[in-house]
Every structure is written in structure tokens, then in C-alpha cells.
């Protein structure tokens, strides 16, 4: 039976689909929203409305922002020195939080995974091949998983004819670990000690 | 620095205030929302708009619903047999999910807690004293915490002159446990084996 009517039930169902929230925590979240209607529910509703209207994907790098090119691609203090290639936007955000400097990014949108039917055409690899050679160095900051490393090898092979310098993050990223869960010091160190591929 | 502009940053900050979500999971939730804009973000935005407009608190029992009296108080299949007194709406919902039958509820809105400055006037106790004697039995389904049990004793004393039968949930609720985290079978059993106070 619906708790408190269809509007509330619908809100619980949708919140339960967010990562980190199950049905039980979604119910608690909805009660918290209702309890703090003025301070939390109405502002969240307005913030979502604004985000729905404003959010877009950067056509240059794949970052999520409210404009394209995004504020990173458009930042005049960032030159074409380092291009950091990441699997997804969460990794880009993690590196930005680590304060890795005046770099630019390229979001692949995933990793090669033949078993899941993900091939080169499903990722933003062609765009990387066009864009990458404009930079002095490309850092392949993919996750230390089998698929991540397979993807790194594939990109290295495809970029080799251009002669651009390609590096990877230093070891220090735990094997099998995901960038987004690392502390910012580790990420920063791993970038400083990056090695040539 | 803001990730992806102020609209996105604001959404992360607000989501991080929901129970069960911290800053890191809020960022993941926002990326998930953006990735599934059509299937998740827009429906969630619409659901929140509708809930903000519709949600109210039942003037009779304190339940959260889209009408007052709520669908439980207005349900003609529920008579004035059992009145179950709970601390908050999450407990009411947990009992409803357990399918405890054609009962009615009274939400206290908390428990007595002198250290936190919560006295009888801060809870819905006067309303319970007026409403309770209309029922054949009042079940005090407060949490098995010190404050919950203190609150149960206080209510028992105040209701004694009315002569209404007062019971509590059977032991089976773990000491220190919170109703909302119990499985539905345990809750159902605890209600069936309720004992007189
Ligand atoms: Zn960009
Ligand atoms: Zn009600």
C-alpha cells in the first residue's frame, strides 16, 4: 500500500534509484525532506529544476557543466600542456578536487569491455585522437582495472603515430581501485610521479 | 572550486544533507541524475515539485500525506479499536508495511528528553489524551530506548484516569533498537504478543 499517497510514493521510488540510497534510506530521506520542507525540500526542488534546465555535456571534453565548452576548457589559465584522460566525469571531479593544476581533461565515457559490448566507437576515442596531439603530454588516468589497462593500451597504440608523449599515473593507485574513492593526497602524488608508457 | 557550475554544486550540497548521503555519494548521485536526465532527473524534479505542492501533515494523527485527515484516519475500514502510538512517521510507515491490520495511529513527533529540552508540550501528547479514550486499546509502540520508555511511562500515568486499556509492544524489539530498522515479521510478532502495562 502507498505510504502517504502517490506523490510521496513516487518520490521514494525515484530517490531509491540513486546510488547509495535503497528503499529504506529513500523513505528516511523523503521524511527528512518533508520535515524540513522550507530549508531542504523546496530548495532541492528548485535546484533540480535549475539543473535540469542548465546542465549540459561539454562538446570538447565530455565534462558535465552548465555551458559548452565547459569552464575548464574555456579557462584561459589552462594551456595545452597536460591532457588527462579519464573514464568518467566523477574521476575528472576527483582530480580537480585534488588540485592537480592547470590541466585539461578528456572524458572517455567508460572503458573497453568486449564482454559488455563496449567497443572503441562507444567511447570518446576518435575525439581524443583528433584532440590529443595538440597537447605536449597525455596522461592516461584510467582506473587500475583490467578493462582500464586494456583501454590504456589501445589508446597508446592508436596515438603512437602522432608521436605525442603518453604517460600513466604512478603506481600508488591500488590495483583494482577506483580513482573516485582515493584520498586527494594519493591522487596528487600519483600524478606527480607519473611514468612514461 | 565549483564542479560544473553553481547549479550543480548547489544540487550536490543539498543532496549531501539527506540521511544516508554524504558529499561523495551526493556527487555520485548528481552524476547519475545527469547521466539519466530523461529517465531519472526530470521525473525526480517533477515528483519533488508535486510533493512540495501536495504534502501536508494530518491534523488528526500527525501522519504525512497529501490530505488531512490522512488516508489512514479517513479509511472507513479502520475502527476505533487499536490506536498505535509511535514516535515518528517512519515508525508508522514501518508498521503499515508490516501489515498490522485495521489500526489507527498517533504520531508523537519525538520522545521526552529533558537533556535536549524536549518536554510534554513539544510532543503531540495533549492531542493523544483527548483522542486516546475513544479507542478500546492504546498500544505504546515507542522505541526500546531509555527516552522511549520514559515517554511510555509518562503517557501511561496521564492516561490512567481515563481507564483506557494501555499495552506496549511485546519484547522481541531489541533493546536499544529502532522500529524502522526491524524486519516486518519481527514487528508483526511484537504487536501480536503485546502485553498490558
Ligand atoms: Zn570541457
Ligand atoms: Zn491521520
Q: What is the ipTM of this complex?
A: 0.73
Higher per-residue pLDDT: B97 or B188:
B97
Q: What is the pLDDT of residue A172?
A: 63
Chain B positions in Cβ-Cβ contact with residue A42 (cut-off 8 Å): 52
Higher per-residue pLDDT: B181 or B28:
B28
Compute the distance from residue B73 Cα to the ligand 2 centre, in Å. Answer: 4
Q: Is B52 within 8 Å of A45 when comparing Cβ atoms? A: yes
* Among B73, B72, B56, residue whose Cα is nearest residue B64: B56
Closest listed ligand to the CA of B66? 2
Compute the distance from residue B41 Cα to the ligand 1 centre, in Å. Answer: 22
**DSSP conformation class of A57:** E
Q: What is the mean pLDDT of residues B179-190?
A: 71
pLDDT band of B176, cuts 50, 70, 90: low
Q: Across the interface, which of B32, B50, B96 has its CB nearest the CB of A7?
A: B50
Compute the distance from residue B90 Cα to the ligand 2 centre, in Å. Answer: 14
Highest mean pLDDT (candidates A28-37, B6-15, B103-112): B103-112
CA B90/CA B48 separation, integer angstroms: 19
Yes or no: domain A77-196 corresponds to CATH 3.40.1360.10:
yes
Q: Is A52 within 8 Å of B37 when comparing Cβ atoms? A: yes
Contact residues for A130 (Cβ-Cβ < 8 A; gap 6+):
none
| Closest Cα in chain A, distance from residue B108 (Å) | 14
Q: What is the pLDDT of residue B197?
A: 64
Contact residues for B138 (Cβ-Cβ < 8 A; gap 6+):
B82, B83, B84, B85, B132, B159, B164, B165, B166, B167
Per-residue pLDDT of chain A (197 residues; tens, 9 = 90+): 456 778 899 999 999 999 888 888 999 999 999 989 999 999 999 999 999 999 999 999 999 998 999 999 999 999 999 999 999 998 898 888 888 889 999 999 999 998 999 999 999 999 999 999 999 999 999 887 889 989 999 999 999 999 999 998 876 666 666 767 777 777 776 777 666 66
Contact residues for A58 (Cβ-Cβ < 8 A; gap 6+):
A64, A65, A68, A69, A70, A72, A73
CA A23/CA A108 separation, integer angstroms: 32
Q: Is A29 within 8 Å of B52 when comparing Cβ atoms? A: no
A-B Cβ pairs (cutoff 8 Å, strict) = 177
**Closest residue in chain A to residue B47, using alpha carbons only:** A11
| Closest Cα in chain A, distance from residue B131 (Å) | 21
| Closest Cα in chain B, distance from residue A163 (Å) | 32
CATH code reported for the domain at A6-54: 1.10.8.420
Q: Across the interface, which of B27, B47, B71 has its CB nearest the CB of A11?
A: B47
Q: Across the interface, which of A28, A40, A89 has its CB nearest the CB of B17?
A: A40
Q: What is the pLDDT of residue B1?
A: 43
Q: Is A55 within 8 Å of B7 when comparing Cβ atoms? A: yes
Q: What is the pLDDT of residue A1?
A: 43
Give me the helices (H) in chain A, please: 6-15, 23-35, 42-54, 89-97, 125-131, 146-159, 184-192
Compute the distance from residue A46 Cα to the ligand 2 centre, in Å. Answer: 29
Q: Is B47 within 8 Å of A96 when comparing Cβ atoms? A: no
Q: What is the pLDDT of residue B83?
A: 95
Q: What is the pLDDT of residue A192?
A: 74
User: Domain residues of chain B, as ranges?
Assistant: 6-54, 77-196
| Closest Cα in chain A, distance from residue B186 (Å) | 16
Q: Would you say residue B187 has pLDDT above 80? A: no
Q: Across the interface, which of A3, A33, A49 has its CB nearest the CB of B45?
A: A49
Helices B184-192 and B89-97 meet at what angle, rounded to 10?
Answer: 90
Q: Is A24 within 8 Å of B180 when comparing Cβ atoms? A: yes
Amino acid at each position: 500500500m502507498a505510504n502517504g499517497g502517490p506523490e510521496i510514493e513516487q518520490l521514494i521510488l525515484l530517490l531509491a534509484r540513486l546510488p547509495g540510497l535503497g528503499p529504506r534510506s529513500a523513505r528516511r530521506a523523503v521524511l527528512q525532506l518533508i520535515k524540513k520542507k522550507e530549508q531542504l525540500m523546496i530548495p532541492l526542488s528548485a535546484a533540480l529544476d535549475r539543473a535540469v534546465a542548465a546542465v549540459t555535456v561539454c562538446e570538447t571534453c565530455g565534462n558535465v557543466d552548465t555551458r559548452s565548452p565547459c569552464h575548464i576548457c574555456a579557462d584561459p589559465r589552462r594551456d595545452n600542456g597536460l591532457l588527462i584522460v579519464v573514464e568518467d566525469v566523477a574521476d575528472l571531479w576527483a582530480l580537480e578536487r585534488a588540485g592537480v593544476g592547470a590541466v585539461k581533461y578528456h572524458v572517455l565515457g567508460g572503458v573497453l569491455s568486449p564482454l559488455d559490448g563496449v567497443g572503441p566507437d562507444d567511447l570518446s576515442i576518435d575525439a581524443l585522437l583528433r584532440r590529443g596531439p595538440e597537447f605536449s603530454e597525455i596522461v592516461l588516468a584510467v582506473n587500475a582495472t583490467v578493462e582500464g589497462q586494456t583501454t590504456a593500451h589501445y589508446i597508446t597504440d592508436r596515438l603512437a603515430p602522432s608521436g605525442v608523449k603518453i604517460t600513466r599515473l604512478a603506481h600508488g593507485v591500488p590495483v583494482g581501485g577506483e580513482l573516485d574513492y582515493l584520498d586527494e593526497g594519493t591522487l596528487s602524488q600519483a600524478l606527480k610521479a607519473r611514468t612514461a608508457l
